[in-house]
């Protein structure tokens, strides 16, 4: 397996807290209907199963591969800035893997389980800045606990279905409160996607990656959208709308980018 645990690297690069940047409000209170620890255990189990399947198919890219190491380097710069968005992330065992596949896709499961597909890197020929935008977006989903809120909404729907079923003489109460589902393929709402874009832009800028890459990323994404959209685009807002939203928030995050490069202690100051 090429699983890479990132926490030891993060501890070396913990930045001072900052109150500037973007503001997306509080996360959904609905998420509290789902125990975070239970969901993160489920995510860890499914992530291991994904690794095992990829290994059996010869698709798990080695930890020593330059592209895997590239992802690790980008994650190492981003992760020290995640605590401000979710204090619980200190308990997560962050991992990252690269999967050999033509899919244009990436994800971060609850608890910090990240995977990228080679199709995303190879097809779009992403720069480090553009990879950081994608990674920040996916990490933002985990930090804002979108999966937890999404499953909570599904649970409420099931409760309503159960109550109707019970009223008319059917329904099983035991199925109402099970988590279930494949977290690898969980679809988010467009509101979730927009929020992840904004938070991801903040994370990338704080870690010294050019937030303008959000524009070029979505220009590339839009160019690939001929016929059926790539999986990574399946539930996302249209590319033109994404670009407008990113440009709207650039004034909030560009000072963070400049600050990262001005700080001699920041890894970003060494690579500009």
Provide the whole-model pTM.
0.83
Cβ neighbours, 10 Å, residue 230: 18
Express each pLDDT in 88-99 by its tens digit: 999 999 999 999
DSSP label of 81: G
- Coil, strand, or helix at residue 94? coil
- Coil, strand, or helix at residue 99? strand
Q: Is residue 28 part of a domain?
A: no
Q: Is residue 10 part of a domain?
A: no
Q: What angle do CA 100, 101, 103 make, to 5 degrees?
A: 145
- Coil, strand, or helix at residue 28? coil
The mean per-residue pLDDT over the stretch 128-133 comes to 98
Q: Is residue 7 part of a domain?
A: no
Q: Is residue 12 part of a domain?
A: no
Express each pLDDT in 2-40 by its tens digit: 566 665 544 445 444 444 889 988 888 888 888 899 899
**Nearest partner of 36 among 133, 135, 129, 144, judged by Cα:** 144
Q: Is residue 19 part of a domain?
A: no
Domain that holds residue 122: 34-270
Q: Which CA distances in Å does 216 have to 31, 141, 245, 269?
A: 33, 21, 13, 22
Q: Is residue 21 part of a domain?
A: no
> How far is the C-alpha of 151 from the C-alpha of 189, rounded, in Å?
12
What is the SS3 string spanning 153-210? HHHHHHHHHHHHHHHCCCCCHHHCCCCCCCCCCCCCCHHHHHHHHHHHHHHHHHCCCC
Q: Is residue 18 part of a domain?
A: no
Provide the pLDDT for residue 152. Answer: 85
Q: Is residue 3 part of a domain?
A: no
Residue 171 pLDDT > 50, yes or no? no
Number of domains in the chain: 1
């Amino acid at each position: 397996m090429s699983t890479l645990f990132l926490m030891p690297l993060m501890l070396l690069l913990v930045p001072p807290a900052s109150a500037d940047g973007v503001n997306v409000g509080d996360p959904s209170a609905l998420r509290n209907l789902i125990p975070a620890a239970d969901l993160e255990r489920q995510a860890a189990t499914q992530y291991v199963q994904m690794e095992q399947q990829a290994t059996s198919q010869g698709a798990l890219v080695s930890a020593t591969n330059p592209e895997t190491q590239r992802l690790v380097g980008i994650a190492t710069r981003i992760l020290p800035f995640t605590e401000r968005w979710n204090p619980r992330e200190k308990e997560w065992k962050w991992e990252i893997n690269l999967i050999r596949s033509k899919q244009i896709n990436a994800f971060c499961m609850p608890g910090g389980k990240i995977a990228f597909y080679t199709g995303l890197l190879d097809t779009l020929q992403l720069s480090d800045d553009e990879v950081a935008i994608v990674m920040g977006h996916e990490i933002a989903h985990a930090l804002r606990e979108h999966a937890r809120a999404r499953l909570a909404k599904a649970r409420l729907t099931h409760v309503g279905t159960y109550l109707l079923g019970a009223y008319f003489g059917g329904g099983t109460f035991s199925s109402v409160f099970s988590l279930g589902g494949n977290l690898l393929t969980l679809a988010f709402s467009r509101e979730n996607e927009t929020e992840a874009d904004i938070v991801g832009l903040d994370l990338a800028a704080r870690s010294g990656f050019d937030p303008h890459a959000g524009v070029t990323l979505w220009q590339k994404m839009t160019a690939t959208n001929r016929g059926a959209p790539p999986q990574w685009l399946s539930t996302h807002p249209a590319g033109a709308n994404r670009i407008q939203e990113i440009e709207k928030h650039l004034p909030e995050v560009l000072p963070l980018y400049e600050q990262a490069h001005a700080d001699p202690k920041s890894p970003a100051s060494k690579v500009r």
